Amino acid sequence: MRKLERSACAKIILCGEHAVVYGRPAIALPLSQLRAHAHIAAHREPFEIFAADLGETLSLTTAPVAPLVRIAQLACEKLGITPPDARLELRSDIPLGANLGSGAAVSIAVARALGAWAGYEFTPDEVSALAYEIEKLHHGTPSGIDNTTIAWEQPVYFVRGRTPELLSGVYVAALPIVIADTGRSTPTHVPVGEVRRAWESAPAHFERIFDAIAVCVHEARLALEVGDLPRLGAALNVNHELLQSLSVSSPELDALCAAARAAGALGAKMSGGGRGGNMLAIARDVAHAQHIAAVLRRAGAARVFHAK
């Protein structure tokens, strides 16, 4: 029986979330050890998708507008094929609702699997564009940073509407980062929508906050380029304070950030949409990262991940 597999990684926003929707830069990192996997195999019945983590089977007839079905339709349209007589099974290591890009990763894995089935490997730009259409369903007005970072699987300096700039170098690759999930999930479109409404009511005030976040991103990039971890940590601490001023943090996120700093983290901040989800901390080195991870577990983190 013919079988193929393709996958896509998770991502973490290092800095710049929310402001990135308003034209400011952001930096995101891939998390290659956390992946969504799409297995496709020949099937005697019409095309269907089995989402193993959800225990759901979807088809073009039973769930034509479901995001998983829609990405399959878009990929087939791009390939110029009809959906094959095949069964596509999805399994993911990426926690749902943790702001780690689960939705974009699953979309990209599905598209890649269908492309491989048709004998075609989508380019990062192609698969990113396909996934962005599904991100609109999930988030309303997404920035595009999730699908871009995941499609390229490289650190990305991202400004909406511009060609993403891929970051490389030893300091990015070896960054001692710890990620902790609060275990609480809020759909990204909720805080994004609330920030939008607040911005509409007081645009000048919120533009100043977005400008200040952009300064943090600039500082973070300069710190990454020279491997200055204390400078990077300081920029992330300020970024978290600015996100608090947007009212997108939460008591759980603030508590984990405080615990990380008390354990000696050079910087700590929420990451992603907020109101739950995850935070990240910058350690001095790998051993220190392990210590911070243990502290975050004791502080109530539901899950703790290492970027490396």
CB 57 within 8 A of CB 50: yes
Instruction: Specify which residues 105 forms β-bridges with.
Output: none
- Alpha-carbon span 272 to 249, nearest angstrom: 10
Alpha carbon 139 to chain centroid, angstroms: 12
Ordered domains of the chain (ranges, CATH): 3-165 (3.30.230.10), 169-306 (3.30.70.890)
Q: What is the pTM of this model?
A: 0.87
- 146 included as an active-site residue: yes
Q: Specify the DSSP element, H or E, that contains 251.
A: helix 251-262
| pLDDT per residue of the chain (308 residues) written in tens, 0 to 9 | 688 999 999 999 999 999 999 999 999 999 998 999 999 999 989 999 999 988 999 998 888 779 999 999 999 999 999 999 999 999 999 988 778 899 999 999 999 999 999 999 999 999 999 999 999 887 777 778 899 999 999 999 999 888 888 887 767 778 899 999 999 888 888 998 999 999 999 999 999 999 999 999 999 999 998 999 999 999 999 999 999 999 999 999 999 999 999 999 999 999 988 999 999 999 999 999 999 999 999 999 999 987 55
Catalytic residue among 146, 211, 228, 285: 146
